[in-house]
Structure 1
């Protein structure tokens, strides 16, 4: 059986248009050519695809079943053509973006809406990683673009673009003993359990001058966030991540002398990035992000504590 793409297109068009004449107009071919393509397909497959007894051809049960397979083959063929064009240098077929949890996700989601509209056929892989892991992935070429806050200082040998500053604040549950204090010093902080980020980023790199003697650690800021909301200790978290909880009264910021800290959110690529059109668009869209825009984007409910 040697069916051709032209035969499959004729079959699908006739089924969707409800007539061979309609299929001919859609494909820009003569009606006789479309009819012959379908007939040759029926001969090759040994199956009657259409019942031609009535005024308009109707799909047989066998034709109805094979129609979906024909559509699938045509979609696969179109995907293959697009990927071949991508490899020819017009648009990349695949793009990998690595980010850590300090990247404001709602902002990224909004940018990805624009990416999806412009580059629907580009496979986008998004990986969550610690700053150390993100750096290694970019250096090795495993990732094309990274967005992260380098808690330990800016690494050498990468191209870095400062996007915005992330503000970190000390916070606790209103039920926590520290919440009743007007000003909290280092001695008071160290007397209570600290909720910290662990993993390769290192708990010692949490942006706080104080360190709790007792600690609960997680490799996820969102888990630390939840621990804090439940009153298990004090934490230093990005303000954008807890803004909704502050408004809802689930968390309270602590007034800590010299406790406020801002760290830059950086876009990172290799020193000489080899980005195609999709990568360049994503990089430029992320580069244009501004901290003040975060207040206009609601934090998705999937990341919020339940009321």
Structure 2
């Protein structure tokens, strides 16, 4: 037996009757006559070749096993169409069809999660593509057009293609494992840090080739992953700067020690919102930029 193709309207009537548990209440909700609702269900059952509701012995329609089995599928079809309509309306209103965001690994994860959770609520029809990179690789994604906007560090200051707006900073502090020689010194003399291996976060992009940021020692290991740097620091394989928010537990438990180095016990990693100068941020991107601005990163 060939199965007919039901209309979206028929599926919506089916769902409404199932949700209301009554042809009468379904008709009231849809603003139609009961006969119209009943006719739509009869037509749908005829097209599908199954009975969706059992009406015998009760004034209240009951879903048949076949109706129960098809309910989830009908709801999925209706939801997909609703999503399609919402997407079209978003596009008509000027909303982006997708938003690509790049963030520096230094940005606190809880701040990112909080902003993205609110973004999901505010823009449910805008898919998000998130990139997490370090240093110049963040700005490179914006320049190459792979990211619409970004939250990056000071390395973007010299990029003429990029517009930037300061939004805060992240405090970096020099640390080492308690077993490290620097951690065991009561007072670190000037120049002492240059005698020990420094673990340095390096860049995967050419934007900062040949440039160092807060590097004091000529003896260094270059790491492209902040998580790997964190692990090696705890293992005592060197000293280095880490964002304070990321190592609070380590400091509290004594797994890492804050080094009072004479060259400076802290370093503020300035963060900026970035976007290409030839591309005006859309509504969703503008909201995202404002949300990071309002987050007041690095401020009490």
Q: For 1:69-88, what per-residue CA distance to the aligned partner results, in whole angstroms no more than 9, with x for missing partners?
A: 11111011001101111222
Q: For 1:146-203, what per-residue CA distance to the aligned partner results, in whole angstroms no more than 9, with x for missing partners?
A: 0111347542221100111222221001122211113335643233332222341579
Aligned length: 293
Change (3 A) 1:203 1:192: farther
Distance in 2, matches of 1:100 and 1:291, equals 13
Contact 1:82/1:121 (CA < 8 Å) preserved in 2?
yes
Contact 1:189/1:212 (CA < 8 Å) preserved in 2?
no
* Cα-Cα RMSD: 2.2
Contact 2:156/2:162 (CA < 8 Å) preserved in 1?
no
| Mapping of residues 276-291 of structure 1, within 5 Å | 276-291=282-297
Distance in 2, matches of 1:185 and 1:209, equals 17
Change (3 A) 1:54 1:218: farther
User: Which residue is equivalent to 1:132?
Assistant: 136
Distance in 1, matches of 2:194 and 2:140, equals 34
1:142 Cα offset (Å): 2.2
1:8 Cα offset (Å): 0.3
Query: Which one of the candidate residues 83, 87, 92 is aligned to 1:83?
Result: 87
Distance in 2, matches of 1:185 and 1:177, equals 12
TM-score of the two chains, using structure 1 as the length reference: 0.87
SS in 1 for 2:182: helix
Out of 27-36 and 201-210, give the one that drifted further. Answer: 201-210
Change (3 A) 1:203 1:236: farther
TM-score of the two chains, using structure 2 as the length reference: 0.89
SS in 2 for 1:81: helix
The answer to whether structure 1 residue 65 and structure 2 residue 75 are counterparts is: no
1:268 Cα offset (Å): 0.1
SS in 2 for 1:207: coil
Distance in 2, matches of 1:222 and 1:160, equals 27
User: Which residue is equivalent to 1:27?
Assistant: 30
The answer to whether structure 1 residue 43 and structure 2 residue 46 are counterparts is: yes
User: Which residue is equivalent to 1:298?
Assistant: none
User: Which residue is equivalent to 1:147?
Assistant: 151
| Mapping of residues 1-307 of structure 1, within 5 Å | 1-55=4-58, 56-151=60-155, 153-185=157-189, 187-200=191-204, 205=211, 207-213=213-219, 215=221, 217-259=222-264, 260-293=266-299
Which runs of 5 or more structure 1 residues have no equivalent in the other structure? 296-307
SS in 1 for 2:233: helix
Contact 1:96/1:145 (CA < 8 Å) preserved in 2?
yes
1:244 Cα offset (Å): 3.0
Distance in 2, matches of 1:76 and 1:35, equals 25
Distance in 2, matches of 1:291 and 1:42, equals 59
